[in-house]
Structure 1
């Protein structure tokens, strides 16, 4: 249930890799999307270069050889390919042709995960204008891969050619719909520009390495009213501590971070992006 997905209409963001922080694992924390990460993970400082020329520096995580923004958005499938000064373009003008997202499975994906992907694809087809369907011969498509950890992640928008959507055993049908939301071009709800009118980020309860993941995304735009019910919203808690506090005390904290299905506004946002 979600209502407004922070739709990145900025239209041309370049992730420029700047530096690598030393790895220093100190215990572990549960990320906002449920993944387990080192308290001091291997990170890269990256700069979002927006269409209007403005810049925003954030921290991206190096995990399983990939560069991840906001816990589950794949900025690069192979962090080593970037090099110390490499770049990777995320352009949400790259909508999927014909409102269709073809997908295929890597050979290592278990049948139980395949079944969940197929169910998520059916849910998306039945509730939005987007058709998520098995690939035939399309040049642009999503390859579903599998990891034995806990992470679910996806590229942002249509990258071109083969792009990765990574799943683990813990990824539910709703989590998979969330990742396909990223593949459609959706950021997380709480990064939209007007969020400070609705929530207060509790910075003291968020580890320093994760704080940039809660920054407002410069150049992004929310569609419709702020949506606490969005499937793209982070949960209220980070590692057991309140991280996102609604300014309206009547808001049920359990509304944030649901992974049951698209909210009414989620559907409206997706259909706005992908009209028939």
Structure 2
């Protein structure tokens, strides 16, 4: 990616979106993550899979390749960050609060940047989006005013740590059916599979990385259907699932926190009529 191209791309993604709260009233409310991402990012054509900014200089290898993970020193993975001063105090505190949800159950530690050259920069751009995995240098995570909900911020941070969407994992065809006939024309690429490393973990309908049944639907009909239970409703996670946490620990070899416990979803408890 040339410097000129990146500058133009950055400018197109940094316009402030209007209409969101400034006083923090929305912070922490329950939310339909898929709807927030889809609506907030609808005018951002440079994103892939709904909320990912691709590094055009990197191939599509799964996130175990050299350079994809944030460096680990000792037992901890310290991820430096800065938060734009364009945010309100409530928004800054909310970002920090969501980052802290990673601290108790994983070896990830978000630390305020001092002089580190590689760091996350949470900025008030247009939409909710992130790169996938460690990029080196200043790594942008865009959180516009409409993104301030726990699952949305966790979702973008998980991208930055190296994780793709659940419904795009390499084995997804064993678990879901993608109904391309119901998908908005021009957004089909948001459902393409990625060459992911699934870390020997099961497909998780409760993952905060799972879009809901009607993501990018053009007609109100389901675009993602559970293969073994068509009436299953999913994509309404309000926080990281146990498997989301376990995957972080496996990817980053967080020995102290690694439980080697995989959690199965009670599918029957999620069934509704979606057809």
State how far apart, in whole Å, the 1-side matches of 2:110 and 2:231 are: 33
* Contact kept? 1:231, 1:261, Cα under 8 Å: yes
* Contact kept? 2:207, 2:243, Cα under 8 Å: yes
Which residue number corresponds to residue 38 of structure 2? 34
* Contact kept? 1:102, 1:142, Cα under 8 Å: yes
Give the alignment partner of residue 75 of structure 1, picking from 54, 57, 65: 54
State how far apart, in whole Å, the 2-side matches of 1:72 and 1:274 are: 23
Residues 126-275 of structure 1 correspond to what in structure 2 (within 5 A)? 126-147=104-125, 151-171=127-147, 172-217=149-194, 219-223=195-199, 224-238=201-215, 239=217, 240-249=220-229, 252-253=232-233, 255-258=234-237, 260-275=238-253
Q: Please give the per-residue CA displacement for 1:136-189, whole angstroms capped at 9, x wherever unaligned.
A: 222110011013x5x211111110011100002222122111111000010111
TM-score normalized with structure 2 length:
0.69
* Contact kept? 1:33, 1:234, Cα under 8 Å: no
Matched residues, number: 208
Q: CA deviation at 1:266?
A: 0.9
* Contact kept? 2:41, 2:128, Cα under 8 Å: no
State the secondary structure of the residue aligned to 2:155.
helix
State how far apart, in whole Å, the 2-side matches of 1:97 and 1:269 are: 17
Q: CA deviation at 1:251?
A: 5.9
With CA pairs under 8 Å and 6+ residues apart, which has the higher RCO, 1 or 2?
Answer: 1
State how far apart, in whole Å, the 1-side matches of 2:36 and 2:225 are: 14
Q: CA deviation at 1:267?
A: 1.0
Go from structure 1 to structure 2 and tell me whether the alpha carbon gap of 1:262 and 1:37 turns closer, same or farther (over 3 Å shift): closer
Superposed CA RMSD: 2.3
State how far apart, in whole Å, the 2-side matches of 1:271 and 1:31 are: 29
State how far apart, in whole Å, the 2-side matches of 1:269 and 1:128 are: 10
Which residue number corresponds to residue 101 of structure 1? 79
TM-score normalized with structure 1 length:
0.69
Higher-strand-fraction structure: 1
- Unaligned 5+ runs, structure 2: 6-33, 255-275
Which residue number corresponds to residue 25 of structure 2? none
Which residue number corresponds to residue 52 of structure 1? none
